Amino acid sequence: MKWTKYIVIFGGLCLSNLGPSVGLAQPKHQVAPPDGTASLEGTVQDGQTQKSIAGAIVMAKNQAGVIYTQQVTNADGSFQLKLDPKLPYIISTKAEGYGTTDEQLAFTSGSTNRLFGKTILLFRINSKPVSTTTASPVHATTSTVVSPPPARPATTPPVSEQPAVSNTSVVQTSRVTPPKTLDAKVVYTPPPIVAAAGKTTQLQALQFVQSKAELLPDAQPALDQLLAFMRDHATAEIELAGHTDNQGDFDENLKLSKQRVELVKDYLVKNGIAANRVTTRGYGPTRPIASNNSENTRKLNRRVEMTVLKE
């Protein structure tokens, strides 16, 4: 009986030690984010109707495809992911009836605590954005329908007869053509800038012409939001930092990054912001946040970031 008791006790100890090992053997599917993370905030929309998509799944994966975190979008299509700002990610988004999208994401630096205003567009599986090759047949069909039918007499008034013949085709054309103008990069207006002293915010929408200190037209809403921030915070002082990738001459990239943020500063000054409230620095390629080995990641290094020095 004594031997039996010892065996039972020894067996119980062995089983208790197996508990952690079994837990570690589970498949790595999701890694819990640490405390003190940064946030990625945005919305998921239908690429054609621009309507919010509720119930979409937004996932942040590492480069090996392991899911770091994920969230289902709210009724208004919004989401917020808590991420480690020191790591690059692949943001994968999917929804029922839509094709899945994947895109690279990296924060500007380890001190960045928020990236907001992100818009993710999904397209239905049975529809695609209108391209040049698909637009041509549509216009050709419309012109053919509008022309008077050759079987009718020449004296028949074309205006009164044609609507009954071409009504269906015209309606179809009006449904297909508009998505060509629904480009989120054109109509997108970033949300108001909210930044605390000492925190760095990436101004993603400030994009420039390649290799030039010249802003793209799409950057105007972001400029206006930055101007509004400076006007709403009359005593705030900021630093604008310009960054480039490693392509081209090192000294030229340093010069270009400085010229670009000076261009942004000039816009603020011309609109009534005191010059001494805006400091500029050009870091060129010296502070990358992603690999420079491919264009998909190099573009993450071409950026402008803002730090509030004084509130």
Residue 127 has pLDDT above 70, yes or no: no
The residue ranking higher by pLDDT, 280 or 15, is: 280
Buried b (16+ CB within 10 A) or exposed e, 257-275: bbbbbbbbbebbeeeebee
Helix (H) or strand (E) holding 82: strand 78-83
Q: Looking at per-residue confidence, does 31 or 103 come out higher?
A: 103
Q: What is the pLDDT of residue 143?
A: 36
Given pLDDT bands bounded at 50, 70 and 90, which one contains residue 54? very high
> What predicted TM-score, i.e. pTM, was given to this entire model?
0.42
Report pLDDT digits (tens) over 246-301. 888 999 999 999 999 999 999 999 999 999 999 999 999 999 988 999 888 888 88
For residues 80 and 71, the answer to whether their CB atoms sit within 8 Å is yes
Task: Look at residues 144, 190, 136, 195 and name the one whose alpha carbon lies nearest to residue 165.
Answer: 144
Domain 188-310 has CATH 3.30.1330.60: yes
Residue 242: how many other CB atoms lie within 10 Å: 27
pLDDT at 228 > cutoff 80: yes
In the structure, what pLDDT confidence band is assigned to residue 109 with cuts at 50, 70 and 90?
A: low
Please name the residues in contact with 92: beta carbons below 8 A apart, sequence gap of 6 or more: 58, 59, 60, 61, 100, 101, 102
Looking at the chain, the whole-number percentage of residues with pLDDT higher than 90 is 29
Q: What does the domain layout of the chain look like in residue ranges?
A: 38-122, 188-310
The per-residue pLDDT for 31 is: 41
Indicate whether 119 pLDDT > 60.
yes
Provide the H-helix boundaries in 179-219: 184-187
DSSP 148: P
**Mean pLDDT rounded to a whole number for the chain:** 73
Is the CB of residue 103 less than 8 Å from the CB of residue 290? no
Report d(CA 72, CA 94) in Å as an integer: 10
Q: Which helix (H) or strand (E) holds 39?
A: strand 38-46
Contact 60, 87 (CB under 8 A): no
Across the range 24-39, mean pLDDT stands at 48
48 touches 123 (CB < 8 A):
yes
299 vs 189, residue with greater confidence = 299
What pLDDT shows up at residue 190? 59
CATH number of 38-122: 2.60.40.1120
Dihedral pair phi/psi, residue 44, rounded to 5°:
-110, 130
Task: In whole angstroms, give the CA distance from residue 69 to residue 62.
Answer: 10
Distance (Å, whole) CA 209 – CA 215:
6
Residue written as token pair 């770091």: 68
